[in-house]
Amino acid sequence: MLDIKFIRENPDKVKEAVRLKNLDLDVDQLLEINKQRCGLQQQVEDLRAQKNKASDEIKNGGDKDGIIARMQEVDKEFGKLSSELTTIESKFNTLMFKTPTIPSADTPIGKDESENKVVYKWGEPTKFNFEPKNHIQLAKSLDLIDFEQGVKVSGYRGYYLKNEAVTLQMGFLMYAIQKAISKGFVPMIPPTLIREFPLKGSGYFKDENYNSDIDEIYKIANEEKLADGSIKKEDKFLIGTAEPSILAYYADQILNKKDLPIKVCGFSQCYRNEIGSYGRDTKGIYRVHEFMKVELVSITEANVEQSEESHQEMLNISKELHEDLELPYQVLQICTGDLTIGKYKQYDLEAWIPSRYGYGETGSASNFLDWQARRLKVRYKDDDSKVKHVHMLNDTALPSPRILIAILENYQQPDGSIKVPKVLIPYVGTDLIKIKL
């Protein structure tokens, strides 16, 4: 969320961000509710002060009966105003959760994803002197993926990886982890079953609270049994990326400035129910409910120049990984209409996927400034001992299914075998995946 002081001082900028991001938020209503909220807070504090003063008067020998009679009226008013304040605080928080980060000045203006801008290309789309197969055909002939048994056991979009697909996938994920470590990122395997606040704090609910109709997150229905045998009724969720778990690791903390920037490389299983993709990419593993991913997270000082430097550093790692794998790719800068509520700037990476006759998304690098940090209460003290919220950023180093698709399809040979990218040969144990007789 944004700082309410910033919103009060820059209402037109916030209104413009709401317009550019195609959001539904009445900024004037937010400011009016905040005005009412501040007024009620002052009245409640004044009444609390009266109660404290009355208590002191009684201790000092004042007219106890008269003071108590007077305070009974104060208590009634205090209860009434406190109830009103609770209601107005709820309305205020709901609107604050909808306030967007102002997009960067160089973010392209556009209405939707069709107006995202290609800002970088590497390599040429793969050309074949034979009729290429898609990853489904290749996986079946090489016994790499079992879709039928996957659906039987897991349901829609289920799959089993087998044989060299396992070492290939684990190889490029491990390669990404080692690359990140070499760049100063600390490796971490975070929990994938988490409480509500990391998702709410990092912005993975589209509204203030979880909504099963629109949030592409799996909620766990069963209750948790504690060590003493009691039942704890608390919602738990499966993560769609390591980002919320890693960010929440620092929640409610005041960090040391000398420790910034914090750089973490997270490996996790990921789960997404793909509500918004009904009927899209129904075959193969391009869009699945369960996969693995290596995620980069950076936490910096509240300095746009520094967080943008970290943004570029993470983006460059993702670019380098695609180039190490020799996969043709492009980088898109996301336009205002496709930029989600909390993001200041975003880039997407897309690898060339022959069967799609185009590029497919294989990563995303985003700068949220302090939008997530305010929700998660992650702060630090600057050189003047002033407490500030940090900036938070994330980037997909490599995701498992789409990189696997890109490797299978771009590295296929005329006889149906698959060459193994040079950097992955040590992990796979061979330079060629052959058809099994």
Report the CATH number at residue 75: 1.10.287.40
| Per-residue pLDDT, 60 | 66
Average confidence (pLDDT) over 244-269: 97
What is the percent of the chain where pLDDT is above 70? 94
Any domain includes 105: no
Q: Are 305 and 368 in the same domain?
A: yes
Beta strands in 91-220 (DSSP E): 117-122, 145-146, 160-161, 186-188, 193-194, 218-220
Distances (CA, A) of 57 to 54, 69, 94: 5, 13, 41
68 and 197 belong to one structural domain: no
Asked if 88 and 130 sit in the same domain, the reply is no
Q: Is 368 in the same domain as 259?
A: yes
Residue 16 resides in a domain: yes
Domain count, the chain: 2
Give kind and range of the element (H or E) at residue 290. Answer: strand 290-300
Return the minimum-mean-pLDDT range out of 36-50, 101-115, 140-154, 324-338.
36-50
Residues 117 and 142 in one domain: yes
Q: Per residue in 362-399, pLDDT tens?
A: 999 999 999 999 999 999 999 889 999 999 999 999 99
Verify that 189 and 257 share a domain, yes or no: yes
Q: What would the mean pLDDT of 71-92 be, rounded to a whole number?
A: 85
Average pLDDT, rounded, for the chain:
92
**Do residues 143 and 269 share a domain?**
yes
Statement: residue 41 has pLDDT above 60: yes
Average pLDDT rounded to a whole number, residues 293-318: 98
Q: Does pLDDT of 61 surpass 80?
A: no
107 within domain boundaries: no
Final residue belonging to a domain, choices 96, 122, 137: 96
* Same domain as 300, residue 151: yes
* Predicted local distance difference test score (pLDDT) of residue 56: 65
CA 17 to chain centre: 20
- Residue after which a domain boundary falls, among 96, 130, 155: 96
Is residue 426 pLDDT above 60, yes or no? yes
Q: Has residue 70 got a pLDDT over 90?
A: no
* pLDDT band at residue 310 using 50, 70 and 90 as cut-offs: very high
Confidence category of residue 175, pLDDT binned at 50, 70, 90:
very high
> Which pLDDT does position 212 carry in this prediction?
85
The structure tokens listed for 54 are 């009355």
Residue at 102 is within a domain: no
Please tell me whether residues 89 and 117 are part of one structural domain: no
Q: What angle do CA 413, 419, 420 make, to 5 degrees?
A: 160
> Is 395 inside any structural domain?
yes
3-state secondary structure 319-363: HHHHHHCCCCEEEEECCHHHCCCCCCEEEEEEEEEHHHCEEEEEE
Quote the domain boundaries for residue 248. Answer: 113-433
| Domain-located, residue 312 | yes
The reply to whether 216 and 73 lie within a common domain is no
The pLDDT-based confidence of 223 (bands split at 50, 70, 90) is confident
One domain, residues 192 and 67: no
Q: pLDDT per residue over 84-139, tens digit each?
A: 999 999 999 999 989 999 999 999 999 999 999 999 999 999 999 999 999 999 99
Q: Give a yes or no: residue 103 inside a domain.
A: no
Mean per-residue pLDDT for 41-48?
Answer: 85
CA distance 123 to 348: 17
Dihedral, CA atoms, 221, 222, 226, 227, nearest 10 degrees? -140
Distance of CA 240 to the CA centre of its chain: 8
Choice between 80 and 159, residue whose per-residue pLDDT is larger: 159
Whether the link from the prior residue into 261 is cis, omega within 30° of 0, is yes
